[in-house]
Amino acid sequence: MKRAHLFLALRYLGLLSILAISIGPFLWQFATSIKGPGEDVFVPDFIPDDPTFGNYAAVADVVPVWTFALNSLGVASVNVITNCLGAAMAGYALARLRFRGRRFAAVIFASSILVPFEAIMISLFLVMRGFGLTNTLTAVVLPGAIAALNVLLLRNAFLALPAEVEEAAIIDGANAWQRFTRLALPSVKGTLVVVALFSFMFSWDDFLWPLIVLSDQEKYTLTIGLAYLQGTFVQNQRLVAAGTIIAVVPLILLFLLLQKHFFRGVGEGAIKG
Amino acid sequence: MTHRPYTPWLFLAPGLAVCLLFVIFPFLNMIVLAFTDASALGGGEFTGVDNFVRMAQDPKFWAAARNSLLYMAGVVPPLVLLPLLIAMLAQKIVPGIGIFRTAFFTPVIASTVVVGLIWTWLLDSRGLVNNLVEALGGSRIGFLTDSTLLLISSMVVTIWRGLGYYMVIYLAALANVPKDLHEAAMVDGAGPVRRFWSVTVPSIRPTMVLVAALSAVNGFRVFSEIYLLSGGSGGPGGASTTLVMLIQSVGRGLTGEVGYASALSIVLFVILLGLLLVTLKLNRREDRL
């Protein structure tokens, strides 16, 4: 019995050390963000003597951080909608409709998964320039608007649905769009939530592509805005810290609300990235 | 007939358009451009394999390829082992375990940029980590100013951020390890270490291989961590530049050498495709188990 207690204590000790490693850096960043101008940010002090939220207002004076946040929010929201709808439509056609050329369409999506973004980013920039879209948020949205991986995830979800329900609907005279919106879509809600979450996160986190395609500060998304903030105001760490906290809080809230879907998504989307 | 012949294509049109315009076309175009001297301003003459010859003689390319490979080799073993150990700690349902698991996952949901900036601050010459080093009697370490240390620091950031992600994958795998195997081993008098190697590892080996493949792909395409930790410079004299960073800096902007950047991209693609195919194959096998 004693031995079991010892093991339990050791387990908690281990868990607590990992906890410190996981969230300690965030706490330190938060502590830095609420330190007043009179306090030395280099002193390892997690609880400031005179906490202030003034840095959150001040960071907006040096860079338009709220514009960055709105840009990111806009891009991410559009990405969620286009991915859920566009990928579901394509996935439904692949899984549920019979037609010539289905294999061809499936091959296009499957081969798109195999092309890593990093390999085509320069060429993609030329495409956007061809469309006259460089330095626009539209160009940030488009390449990830309907990810091939999401098409295949939803195709698999639709394939798993029993065929009988739809057969009944066909006899009742429902057309393909009606069957899609009224029968198929509501049945794959779980997968849709996963697609929505990961589209949002992927888009909110994206750094390399906005860095390549955007050049004007007022178009910046949060990620490149923060990198710019760090490059320009590195001497005032309090502001950089406040900016990073602004960027991370929405995601933490989203995560706390929808935890179990996140954990499911890690399994399903393990090859995305 | 359940639908008109063109109906499926209406369903597919948006998805196909995105994939064809923004993945397949740029990919094919990249292959063509790699054999030209195209610049960012357009044009470009067919130059045969000149770009590849230039690459073979370009020390920057070899340094970047070496850094990317080193990066991959550096992050894979810790990312295969450490999240497994954490998953074993977090596997047993004890009071408060939900809070621990959630907290361990936090670095995954914070974006790479946020994580990069937080660690830039932690590893600053006067930052928290150096404070700790000094308190322990050491002298300050230039984590971000020495090109080798910069690479290692970036790896630490990648590993730190990956702990929670791969932990979740391992938790799912551990849940499928039959309990009676452990009990039988215990009856036979096997200690915890012995049981780890003889029961746990063999039962979840496919997952370990999958994690290795996933972290290898992600390690080889590293960009953000090194970019942020070096403030965009790629380290002193660009000595810590990786392949993706090199492509970005060669091909970007008005002076971009699109032809050469495309040739570099082909090399990146071939290596990543190899790694991706292995991953997909393993992932499929994993699904069957």
- Cβ-count burial of A92 within 10 angstroms (0-12 exposed, 13-18 middle, 19+ buried)? buried
Give the per-residue pLDDT at A271.
41
The string of pLDDT tens digits covering residues A164-180 is 888 888 888 889 999 99
| CATH number of the domain encompassing residue B249 | 1.10.3720.10
- Residue B211 covered by a domain: yes
Q: Are B147 and B236 in contact (CB under 8 A)?
A: yes
Cross-chain residue pair A252–B266, CB shorter than 8 Å: no
DSSP-assigned states of every residue in B166-227: HHHHHHHHHTTS-HHHHHHHHHTT--HHHHIIIIIHHHTHHHHHHHHHHHHHHHHT--HHHH
pLDDT at A34 over 80: yes
The string of pLDDT tens digits covering residues A112-166 is 998 999 999 999 999 999 999 999 999 999 999 999 999 999 999 999 888 888 8
Q: Which residue range is the domain that position B127 belongs to?
A: 47-288
pLDDT at A234 over 70: no
Side-chain half-sphere CA neighbours of B6 within 13 A: 1
- Residue B37 covered by a domain: no
Separation in Å, CA of A185 to nearest CA in chain B: 13
Nearest to B258 among A25, A126, A224 (CB): A126
pLDDT category of residue A76 using cuts at 50, 70 and 90: very high
Would you give the end-to-end CA distance of chain A in angstroms? Answer: 46
Regions of chain B where pLDDT drops below 70 = 1, 283, 285-289
Q: Are B113 and A227 in contact (CB under 8 A)?
A: yes
Which residues from A are below 8 Å from B110, CB to CB? 26, 248, 251-252
Pick from A68-82, A179-193, B8-22: least confident: A179-193
The Cα B286–Cα B169 span in angstroms is 11
- Residue B239 covered by a domain: yes
Q: Tokens standing for A208?
A: 């390399």
Q: Are A174 and A182 in contact (CB under 8 A)?
A: yes
A269 in helix, strand or coil? Answer: coil
Cross-chain residue pair A266–B262, CB shorter than 8 Å: no
- Residue B242 covered by a domain: yes
Query: Residue B34's closest CA among B211, B284, B265?
Result: B265
Give the per-residue pLDDT at B286.
57
Cross-chain residue pair B252–A126, CB shorter than 8 Å: no
Q: Are B54 and B260 in contact (CB under 8 A)?
A: yes
- Residue B178 covered by a domain: yes
Query: Residue B258's closest CA among A121, A209, A118, A114?
Result: A121
The Cα B58–Cα A124 span in angstroms is 25
Q: Are A221 and A210 in contact (CB under 8 A)?
A: yes
Separation in Å, CA of A101 to nearest CA in chain B: 9
- Residue B111 covered by a domain: yes
Tell me the Ramachandran region of residue A115: left when phi exceeds 0, alpha when psi lies from -120 to 50, beta otherwise: beta
- Residue B75 covered by a domain: yes
Instruction: Quote the number of domains for chain B.
Output: 1
Query: Residue A203's closest CA among A67, A60, A76?
Result: A76
Nearest to B117 among A14, A180, A230 (CB): A230
What ipTM score was computed for the predicted complex, to two decimals?
Answer: 0.89
Cross-chain residue pair A89–B15, CB shorter than 8 Å: yes
User: What ranges make up the beta strands (E) of chain A?
Assistant: none
Which residues from B are below 8 Å from A118, CB to CB? 221, 223, 244, 247, 265, 268, 272
Sequence-distant (6+) residues with CB within 8 A of A270 are B169, B210, B214, B283
Q: State the average pLDDT over residues A197-210.
A: 92
Sequence-distant (6+) residues with CB within 8 A of A248 are A26, B110, B111, B114
Cα distances (Å, whole numbers) of residue A207 to A103, A119, B179? 34, 15, 44
pTM (2 d.p.): 0.90
- Residue B159 covered by a domain: yes
Cross-chain residue pair B16–A105, CB shorter than 8 Å: yes
The string of pLDDT tens digits covering residues A256-267 is 888 777 777 666
The Cα A203–Cα A32 span in angstroms is 27
The Cα A44–Cα A204 span in angstroms is 31
Separation in Å, CA of B224 to nearest CA in chain A: 7
